[in-house]
Chains A and B, each alone.
Chain A
C-alpha cells in the first residue's frame, strides 16, 4: 500500500473514525458521505457527520489463518475476525492477546493499537487497530472519550515468587 493511501486512511485506522447519519442515526465505518439506509438518500446529504466508534464489540465470526499474508509470518497462526461494534458497523480485524483455540463467537473485544505491517526494513511502519479480548472492566469512559478499556488478566499466568 502506498504511503499516501495509508496516510489518508490514518483517521480511521488509528481512531476508528467513521460517520453517522443525523437523519436516521445509522453509523458507518468506513465513513460514508451519503446514507444508504435512509429511504430517500438525498435526505442524508449534508447530514452525515464524523463519528468515532468506541472500539468495543463482539466477535461475529472468525477464521484462523495458517498461510499468512506477507508481513504476518511471525504471528502464524493468527485469528482474523468480523467484529460487530456496539455502534453497529461490522469491522474486520485481527484478534490478539488470545490463543486461536480460545477465540469464540460472541467474545467481547475492544480495539487495541498495534503495528499492522512494515514496508521492509527501511520503509515506513503502518499502525492501526486490532482487537483484544475484554473480560473485565469494560467500562464506557465518561465524557464521551472514545477508547474502551480493559483487557483480561490472562488465566495462564501466576505470580512469580518474590
Chain B
C-alpha cells in the first residue's frame, strides 16, 4: 500500500480535573480510583469548545505542518460519539472552517471510540483508488460520564487529525485489518444524555478480546512479531487496560512509552489512540515501525501497521503544540466549575 500519513495535528483543551476532586464530591476514594485506573488527570473542554472546534484546531495544525492546500482535500470524515448535532454533519463545519469547501465529500463517522480509525481506513481506500488526493480523518470527542459513574473519572476531551495521501508520506501504512463483533459492552440510546455500560463485561469479552485478536491478526498478515515494532499504541479507555493488553501481547513498556497518553489527559474516546499515535509521530525518526490497535465499543478494533519514512526527518513539527505539551500543562478545575462547564447544572428555563 503506497498511501499513508502525510501530516497530523492534535488538540486537547486547556482545563483538567483530578479523580481525587471528582471522588471528593461523590463520597468516593477518588485517589484510589485514579490509581486503579492509572488516570491522574483528565481534560475538560471550555464551555465554548466541542467536537467541531477541537476537530478544526487539530486539522488546522495538520494542514500547516504539511503545507497542504485545503482545496486539494477530497474527503473529510470526523469520527466521534459527541457530534454537537444529531442531524447536521460536524464535517461540514470543519471543512468550511479550514477552507476545504466546496469540492469535497464529507461525513460524520460513529463507532464509539474507534470512529477515527475507521475514518483513516476509508481515506486509505479513497487515496489508494486515486479518487482523492488527500483524505482527512479526524477522531475527536468531548465525552461525558454520568455524574458519579465510574466513567466520569476518565471521560475527557481532545482529538487528532490525520491527512492521508500518497505524496510526501511520513508514515506508510503497510497493512490495516479490523475485527468486528456484536458485543454490547457500552452504548447510548437515542435521546439519552449519558452512555450506559455493562460494568466488568467491558473488559475481557470486549476490550481485551478485540484488541488481542486484532493485534494477532495484523501481525499474522504482516508476518511480524512484537519485537519488530519500535512503538505500539492501543486504545486507552484508562491507563491500565492498554498496559495489560500490551503485556499480554508481549510488548515492553518502552514500546508503549509514547503511545500511552490517557494517564495525563483521560480517555478522549475517538481521539485516544489517535492522540497516542500523534505523540509517537512527534518523537519518531525514519524507519521506525509502529503498531496501532484501536477499539470501539459495540464492538470492533482497527489495526494499522505503519513504517515511518525518510520524509519524517524533513517534517516540520514546530507548527502547533506537540502532544507532550498537552500532557504537561493544564489548569485544574474544582468539581463545581467542571460541572458548570460540562452543563451538568440545571439552570432552569427552557
What residues of chain A have their CB less than 8 Å away from a CB belonging to chain B? 10, 14-15, 73-75, 96-97, 112-116, 120-121, 124-125, 127, 130, 137, 139, 141-143, 145-147, 149-151, 153-162
Chain A, Cβ-Cβ closest to B39: A160
Q: Say whether A115 contacts B49, CB under 8 Å.
A: yes
Known: A125-B85, A153-B321. A115 touches B264 (CB 8 A): no
- The smallest C-beta distance from A108 to any residue of chain B, in angstroms, reads 15
Can you report 28 A-B residue pairs in the complex whose CB atoms are below 8 A from each other? A14-B97, A15-B99, A75-B47, A113-B53, A113-B57, A114-B46, A114-B49, A121-B350, A124-B88, A125-B50, A125-B85, A127-B53, A142-B67, A143-B69, A145-B67, A145-B68, A146-B99, A147-B63, A149-B60, A149-B61, A149-B320, A155-B329, A157-B16, A157-B332, A159-B327, A159-B328, A160-B18, A160-B40
Extra contacts besides A130-B48, A137-B319, A157-B331 (18): CB < 8 Å: A14-B97, A75-B48, A112-B57, A113-B57, A115-B53, A125-B52, A137-B318, A146-B99, A147-B63, A147-B64, A149-B61, A153-B321, A153-B328, A156-B329, A157-B330, A157-B332, A158-B328, A159-B264
Complex interface residues of chain B between 35 and 91 (CB less than 8 A to chain A): 40-41, 46-50, 52-53, 56-57, 60-61, 63-64, 67-69, 84-85, 88
Cβ contact within 8 Å between B50 and A115: yes
Q: Which residue from chain B places its CB closest to the CB of A160 in the assembled complex?
A: B40
Contact of B237 with A by CB under 8 A: no
**Minimum C-beta distance from B51 to chain A (A):** 11
CB-based contact B60/A147 at 8 Å: yes
| Complex: chain B residue closest to A73, CB-CB | B347
Q: How many residues of B contact A (CB 8 A)?
A: 46
* Closest A residue by C-beta to B54: A113
Tell whether, in the assembled complex, residue A160 and residue B49 are in contact, meaning their CB atoms are under 8 Å apart: no
Question: In the assembled complex, which residues on chain A have CB atoms less than 8 Å from the CB atom of B320?
Answer: 137, 149-150
Q: Are B49 and A153 in contact (CB under 8 A)?
A: no
Residues in B lying within 8 Å of A, measured CB to CB: 14, 16, 18, 40-41, 46-50, 52-53, 56-57, 60-61, 63-64, 67-69, 84-85, 88, 93, 96-97, 99, 263-264, 316, 318-321, 325, 327-332, 340-341, 347, 350
Task: Give the residues in chain B near A141, CB-CB below 8 Å.
Answer: 64, 67, 319
Neighbour of B84 across the interface among A96, A125, A151, A154, CB < 8 A: A125
A112 surroundings in chain B (CB, below 8 A): 57
